[in-house]
Structure formats: C-alpha cells, structure tokens
Structure 1
Amino acid sequence: MVATRRARRDAIADGVVGRRRELDLTLAAVSAGRDILLEGPPGTSKSTMLRAITANWGVPFVLVEGNAELTPARLVGHHNPARVLREDYSPENFVPGPLVEAMQGGGFLYIEELNRAPEDTLNVLLGAMAEREVTVPRVGVITALPTFRVLASMNPFDNVGTARISDSVYDRWCRLAVGYQDAGEEADIVAVRTGLPTGSAGSGSAAAQLVADAVAITRATRSHPELRRGSSVRGAIDLAAIAAELAKLGTYPERERLVLDAALLALSGRIGVDEASDVTPEAVITEIWENHFFSLPGARRRESTG
C-alpha cells in the first residue's frame, strides 16, 4: 500500500517542477478528504499541482475566477430561461454551475482569488463544504461524489478589490502558504515552458544564458524598494521567449540591449510601483537590467548573440 501511494505521488510529481513538499502536503490533505486554501503570490504552481492531482485521479478540475460577478446563481447554476417559458421549471432544464458540476463529477472545484468573491457566494460555498450537498430550488438535493473537494487560492499581498476573509471561512479550510520557488526551479519552469535549455549564465549556450538572465531579472523585481509587487515566473517565461525570438531577427548587435527590450515588454505590466514613488516601471526595469549586466560585483559584459 505504501509503495503504491509513493508510486502515485511520484507520477503526480512528474508533472510539477519542484514543489515536492507542497505537493506532498496538498496530496495528503485531499486524500484525507479535506479542502485546502493555497495562499501565496501568483505564478507559484498552485493550480499546476492541483491539475496534476486531478489528472492522476481521473476526476474533473473545475476552475472558477473569484470576482464580484461570482454570484450564488453563477456558482450553483440556473434554469434555462427559454425552456422555463416553454416547459415551466423542471430538473431537466437546470443548467449546472461550477459547484454542482464539480459535485456531480466528483471533481475539484478550484476558486482563484477567493477573497474577491462576494460574501453571500462564500456562504453558499461553505454550506456545500460542510454538508457535501446543496439544495437547488425546483431540482432537489444534490449530493457530492466522494472525491469532491473545494480548493481555493488567494494572494495575501494584493489588497485591491479584495475583502477580508472571516474566521468562519478560514475555519473550513486547511491552509498552505506557498512562496516563490528558488532560482534553479524557476529556470527549469522557464525551460519547460519555452523549450529553451537551462544552464549557468557562463555556460556558453546563448539560449541557456537567456533563461538565466530572464530568471535573475524577474526575481530582482520582487525585492526592489520602489516596487510593491514584483513579477511572477510568468514574466521570466515571456522575457526568455521574446528575447529568443528577437535574437533570431539578428537586428540587435548587442545582446544586453536585446534582453532589456524583452524585459521592458514582458515585465512592465507585471510589476506594481509603490504609490509613494514617482518612478516608472520602465525606469525600474532598466535599473535592474543595468545592475544585472554591469553593476553587480563580478558582473561582466556578456558576449552578444551575433
């Protein structure tokens, strides 16, 4: 039994870069029949872990965006208006929402940005979590299959358009704090998503250098004093992919300038300048680029890609 569980865990881990501890904890929670709240910044493989588990289990993965438009009716479902006019209300003309879809399919309902959802929607959700069933008017009681789970995520560092999560909501979930992965794992993620190789910046491979530069510049945005929000690894993925395409054009005599333009395009919309600062995103990215290539101890001018 233990060997079987480890084999399944290893099979799930094959679809996730790093995150072994977090994957083990998440897998343990859902295997124990518990719901889990993943709390951390975007781009930290939260949904990737859950998709890997559902794929291995063979159950649906139902994704919902938490926002003001996620009303109870949108979450649970509604009766088809045209059919109601013709046939009156009946179970046959009920259109399941994501909650009912996940319950009937025994899948994972995953709500991104839970703290953006309205309070009355959360109340419906908590009832379904507690009872594993929901009562739909003119349809009846819908009972979830045993593999049904409710998973959610939230970014604790973003307060725009969010609401405070009450203690009663927290009490329903196991909570797992998820931080950024280390530089090596982020480089592996960029390589997987772009098809570029990994390696140290001095490895001699121009493509591997692009990956290393993209990860280093992106990670530097998370600790810059002028920024309240840095970029996730998605910024590094786009930076590397764009830089690789620019290199193919052959119009950049200097590799450093190529990386700068790719960084400005990939990162300027993903970072948030502190409200008390009067700098622009472009100025911050340019500063980080200068530090990476020219100013940091041991930095040296890199060879151009030609």
Structure 2
Amino acid sequence: MTDVETLLRPHAEQAFAHELAALDAADDRPRPPAWRLSPWAVVTYLLGGTLPDGTVVTPKYVGPRRVVEVAVATLATDRALLLLGVPGTAKTWVSEHLAAAVSGSSTLVVQGTSGTSEDAIRYGWNYARLLAEGPSERALVPSPVMTAMRTASIARIEELTRIPSDVQDALITVLSEKSLPVPELGTEVQAAKGFNVIATANDRDRGVNELSSALRRRFNTVVLPLPATHEEEVAIVTRRVEQLGVALELPPVPAAADEIRRVVTVFRELRSGRTVDGRQALKSPSGTLSTAEAISVVAHGIALAAHFGDGVLRPSDVAAGILGSVVKDPVADTAVWVEYLESVVRERDGWLDFYGACREVTG
C-alpha cells in the first residue's frame, strides 16, 4: 500500500482520511443511498468544525456556508452539480473534497480539454480484444462516468466548457435517463443509487464552449465567488501555503504574514480596479489574479527565501512571481503594472522595499 507521506499530492480521501473516519464514527444523521457521510457531515468536512470527541476538522473551503449547503443538497437529489466561477475560485478543490466525502473516492475524473473525445465520457474499447473476440464485455473499457454509474459513486468532470459541444452532449442521456446505452452489446448500464456528477466550468478563459440549453437544464449551477474580504483571502492563502510547505517539505519560513498580506492586497486591488481604501481607480490587467495564483506566488517566494535567501520572506522573493501573474500581455499588462507601481506602490508607507524589488524585475 502506498505511504501517503511519500506522495507529492495525495488525493483528498488519503490526506484527510483521519477526519473522514472521525466524521463517519460521529455521524448519526440520515445518509442518502451509498453516501459515506450524511449531508450535514459533508458540509462539516468542507467548512470545518470540532467533533464531540475533540477531533478538529480543518476547513477545506472558506466561503459562504449556504453555497456549500446548496451544492451538497444538489448531490442528494437526481440533479447533477455544476460548480461555476472564474479561474482560481477553488472549483476543482471543492469538487475533489465533495467526491471524497460523499463516495470515499475522488479519482473518477474526466479532464476536459479541446481534445476530449466521447469515449472519455461514455466508453472505449480494448482494440486487441475487439479484433480477437469482437464486441464483448471484456473488450469494453469503461469511462470514469460509467464506472461511477456502476459503483454508485460521484464522477467528476473538470473544465466541462473546454470539451467540444458535441462531446458534452453525450452526458444528456446519462443525466436525464440515468443510463448509458451500449448498442454494440445490445445492452445498457443503469446508474445505481448514489451516482451523480460534479462538473466544473468557467467562462473567462479562451477556448470555452457554451453548454447547450438541454445540457445546462440537467445541472444545478452553483457559483463559487471570489473571497469576499481581504482578511478572508489572507486566511485562505496562509492556510494553503502552510499545507503546501508541509507537503513539499520546505524549510519553515518565519514572519511570512506581512508579505502574504501585501501579495493579497496587490491582487485584490488590480483585480477590482480600485485601491483598498476606495479612493483611487486603477486599470486592471488581462489576467484573473486569482487566489490560487496568490498561493503559488507566496509558495514560490518561500522556496526562494528558504533555499537562496536568509530564511525570511522578503519583497524580493515575491516580486518576480507577482510580475509573472500580472503581466500576461507583455505590452498592455506591463503598462498597467508600471502605472500601478508608480501611482500606488511608490506612494504607500512601508512599501518602498517592495517597490524597489518590483521595479528591478520589471526593468
């Protein structure tokens, strides 16, 4: 059996197995068919809490409780769940943890791309067996969706809107009839109670394919918002950076709070087009400047500080990462960034070192 501690990125059900087991033991509420936990316990797993035995369940998602409750309630019905939001709003993260808490496994995943074929959603064939034996159950290669239907599990479809529209529509029969015909064998797979689908999508990136009205009706759409407040986003970034540091075995870096707060401030101001005090309008760059990108910038900065610095996270450690996140269009975004540095950063008390580090990497 694989030692979880040796894995670079354990699945949710591996990394938080002790929390799931504690919730299972403490959970005395009704559970839908084939669910590992009750809807109440699933929400507790996502949002965190303390169990009667003293077990602390860490928050996996920081956001409105009602959003999580609606998502979990959807999975308890015959409606599929579509998590919608701009890039970096934890759609994949929430999808994985929901599947882990409901089914005990988050690995039945279809990764949507422009090259995703219908086989990835329905089924394919082992062509060596197909040629030797003809169409048979042994020659059939089930998709994650078909496997989830058979095992009463949650199937996850990441980036649904990146999948070509005609391939997306292969889901319509699955979601409406709860069956998947296999005409080559003259049979079908009928979904067991407990099966459902969680899809994620965003409408901001290039290469997005709109969902047909017929498919969209099969989903209950839940929009995951950006963090509502500065403090909320700082807390999210701090928690995830700490988790990444442990997973990557980075040396501990003290006094990172100031730079985390500064990175979040820069991202929120450029994202919203206004300074935190509301007094100055700003131009926004073309990128999304998501919370996920802020986490990446800080984690990269900690690696620099730990391995090539003095062990303290400083402006010079995060400047290059911020520049890479902000400047996607070398011409337009660079102009926005330089204007922000000169009109906001340079004038802000206590930010002179940060201004100098950013000017140095910007050129």
Class of the TM-score when normalised by the shorter of the 2 chains: 0.7 to 0.9
CA distance in 1, matches of 2:321, 2:343: 16
Deviation at 1:223, TM superposition (A): 2.8
CA contact (8 A) 1:210 1:243 kept: no
CA spacing shift, 1:300–1:5, aligned 2, 3 Å: same
* Alignment correspondent of 2:351: 301
Amino acid at match of 2:261: A
Equivalent residue runs for 1:1-306 within 5 Å:
5-14=39-48, 15-19=59-63, 20-61=65-106, 62-139=108-185, 140-158=187-205, 160-182=206-228, 183-195=230-242, 206-224=255-273, 225-248=283-306, 249-250=308-309, 255-265=314-324, 267-268=325-326, 272-273=328-329, 279-289=331-341, 293-296=345-348, 299-301=349-351
Instruction: Using the TM superposition, give the Cα deviation of residue 8 of structure 1 relative to its aligned residue in structure 2, in angstroms.
Output: 4.4
Would the aligned equivalents of 2:61 and 2:94 in 1 still touch at CA under 8 Å? no
Determine the C-alpha separation between the residues in 1 that align with 2:321 and 2:164: 38
Q: Give 1:81 shift.
A: 0.6
Distance 1:79 1:53, change over 3 A: same
Farther-moved stretch of structure 1 (145-154 vs 23-32) = 145-154
Amino acid at match of 2:265: A
Tell me the TM-score normalized by structure 1.
0.81
What runs of 5+ residues in structure 2 fail to find an aligned partner?
1-27, 31-37, 49-58, 244-253, 274-282, 355-363
What is the count of residue pairs matched by the alignment?
286
The CA RMSD measured in Å over matched residues stands at 3.0
Deviation of 1:302 after TM superposition, in Å, equals 6.5
Q: In the alignment, residue 232 of structure 1 is paired with which amino acid?
A: S
Structure 1 residue 272, shift from structure 2 partner: 4.6
In the TM superposition, residue 253 of structure 1 has moved relative to its aligned partner by: 11
Tell me, in whole angstroms, the C-alpha distance in 2 between the residues paired with 1:245 and 1:146.
Answer: 46
Shift of residue 301, structure 1, vs aligned partner: 3.5
Classify the secondary structure of the residue corresponding to 1:228. Answer: coil
CA gap of 1:238–1:123, structure 2 versus 1, over 3 A, is closer
- The Cα offsets for residues 233-266 of structure 1, whole Å up to 9 and x where unpaired, read as 121112112222333323899943443223224x
Deviation at 1:129, TM superposition (A): 0.4
Q: Please, which runs of 5 or more residues in structure 1 have no aligned partner? A: 197-204
For 2:147, the aligned partner's letter is E
Q: Compare 219-228 and 67-76 and name the one that shifted more.
A: 219-228
Q: For residues 105-150 of structure 1, what are the alpha-carbon distances to aligned partners after superposition, in whole Å with 9 as ceiling and x for unaligned?
A: 2222222222222222222201110011111133421011211112
User: 1:217·1:289 contact (CA, 8 Å) conserved in 2?
Assistant: no
Asked if the contact 1:294–1:300 (Cα under 8 Å) also holds between the matched residues in 2, the reply is: no
Q: Partner amino acid for 1:301?
A: W
Tell me by how many angstroms 1:179 deviates: 1.7
